[in-house]
Amino acid sequence: MRDLRNDGVPLHGLRVVLLAGGAGGSTFAVGLRDVVVAGGGSLTVVCNTADDLWVHGLRIQPDVDSMLYGLAGVKDPVRGWGRAGDSDRVSQELREWNLGWDWFALGDLDLGTHIARSSWLREGAGVGGVVHRLQERWELGARLLPMTESEVDTLVMLDEGTIHFQEWWTRHRAQREPRAFANPGIESARPAPGVLEALAEADVVVLAPSNPVVSIGPIVGVPGIADAIRGGTAPVVGVSPIIGGSPVRGMADVCLRVVGAECSAAGVAQLYGARDGGGLLDAWLLGEEDAAEAPRIEGLGIRPVVTPLWMSDVALTRALAADALAAALTLG
């Protein structure tokens, strides 16, 4: 794969749109931001908001905040969410009042974000306006947009009832087998202000190595977003969240099983589909471990690009982001 920084593929003025969820998405976004900004381009990130929830009257937006903290350089690098060096005095105090959930950790600095967001929401700023105000605090080098301003939850249907995605994941660690996932009301949600405009003006669209079912799935499930990607002129490249048949972190394996997709790089490519055939992808980055799946991906009408996918440090993440851009820019 060519090195964008060394062989002069022009990034100047390039408008890149990234669709992303939480931990993996925000790690990738940092590398992509670095490459795009260094080359003189611009990056817009459309974030999943179907993980959002209300706790203690506060609106929590886990994927928006992972993206915000990641791009700002203040994300907890070990957990992959929340603020680095946070404390939990407020949560401890709430426990004394028998409030809160011991399975959902809210740090003191993180609570500051949720209080600010909830105050602005109550003052009437829309979700997009709030995300805009949150990102003004730091020089992110990218613009964050929520996928929609509507409250669309990811719900998990279990034999014993229906629970919110956050409870299924953070409380039950995905150990309860779902029958299905649902995003009730998504059919009447609209893309947040700026999302369709960003996609219409994009030179490249990238699908982050995020959970295809509960992170990217809700984003492209908002009416108008998938059509804008399919019908746009920008090439679309995705990065596999599955390496060597397993998710790097999280529970994509369970999610893929529930929607009847194979937990493999090719399985996720097939789920997204080729843009030519009414799907989303023009090109798909898969790991060297999964190189044998390349012909299958090619057979789907998607260009496979085998490259190292592990985002073990910033240099490797930047290299992966550069590979994604090179794959997109060499499609034409």
Burial class (CB in 10 A: 0-12, 13-18, 19+), 264: buried
Residues 176-235 close enough to bind ligand FO1 by CB under 6 A: none
Q: Rule CB under 6 A: say whether 51 interacts with ligand FO1.
A: yes
CB of 274 to ligand FO1, least distance (A): 27
Integer Cα distance of 329 and 332 in angstroms: 7
**Closest residue to ligand FO1 in the complex (CB):** 22
Helix extents (H) in the chain: 4-7, 23-38, 62-72, 89-96, 108-122, 127-135, 165-166, 195-201, 216-221, 225-231, 252-258, 265-272, 294-299, 314-329
Q: Which is nearer to ligand FO1, 47 or 326 (CB)?
A: 47
Out of 31, 39, 41, 62, the residue judged to bind ligand FO1 by CB under 6 A:
62
Q: Where does this chain touch ligand FO1 (CB under 6 A) — which range of 16-24, 36-44, 192-200, 288-296? A: 16-24
Q: Where does this chain touch ligand FO1 (CB under 6 A) — which range of 60-68, 266-274, 286-294, 300-308? A: 60-68
Q: Rule CB under 6 A: say whether 166 interacts with ligand FO1.
A: yes
Q: Rule CB under 6 A: say whether 23 interacts with ligand FO1.
A: yes
Out of 46, 60, 243, 319, the residue judged to bind ligand FO1 by CB under 6 A:
60
Integer Cα distance of 290 and 244 in angstroms: 6
Given a contact cutoff of 8 angstroms between Cβ atoms, the answer to whether 240 and 285 are in contact is: yes
Q: Rule CB under 6 A: say whether 21 interacts with ligand FO1.
A: yes
Q: Would you state the structure tokens that stand for residue 20, as one six-digit string?
A: 């992303």
Given a contact cutoff of 8 angstroms between Cβ atoms, the answer to whether 67 and 166 are in contact is: no
Integer Cα distance of 50 and 155 in angstroms: 9
Integer Cα distance of 128 and 133 in angstroms: 9
Q: Which is nearer to ligand FO1, 4 or 208 (CB)?
A: 208
Given a contact cutoff of 8 angstroms between Cβ atoms, the answer to whether 301 and 276 are in contact is: yes
Burial class (CB in 10 A: 0-12, 13-18, 19+), 163: middle
Q: Rule CB under 6 A: say whether 248 interacts with ligand FO1.
A: no
User: Within 10 Å of residue 273's Cβ, how many Cβ atoms?
Assistant: 16
CB of 308 to ligand FO1, least distance (A): 23
CB of 69 to ligand FO1, least distance (A): 8
CB of 297 to ligand FO1, least distance (A): 25
Q: Which is nearer to ligand FO1, 80 or 129 (CB)?
A: 80
Out of 63, 149, 290, 293, the residue judged to bind ligand FO1 by CB under 6 A:
63
CB of 288 to ligand FO1, least distance (A): 26
Q: Rule CB under 6 A: say whether 81 interacts with ligand FO1.
A: yes
CB of 285 to ligand FO1, least distance (A): 20
Q: Would you state the structure tokens that stand for residue 112, as one six-digit string?
A: 């500051």
Out of 2, 58, 88, 104, the residue judged to bind ligand FO1 by CB under 6 A:
104
CB of 215 to ligand FO1, least distance (A): 6
Q: Which is nearer to ligand FO1, 37 or 259 (CB)?
A: 259
Q: Rule CB under 6 A: say whether 153 interacts with ligand FO1.
A: no
End-to-end Cα separation, the chain, in angstroms: 16
Give the Å distances, CA to CA, from 144 to 35, 99, 161, 217: 17, 32, 34, 18
Residues that bind ligand FO1 (CB under 6 A): 21-23, 51, 60, 62-63, 65, 81-82, 104-106, 110, 166, 169-170
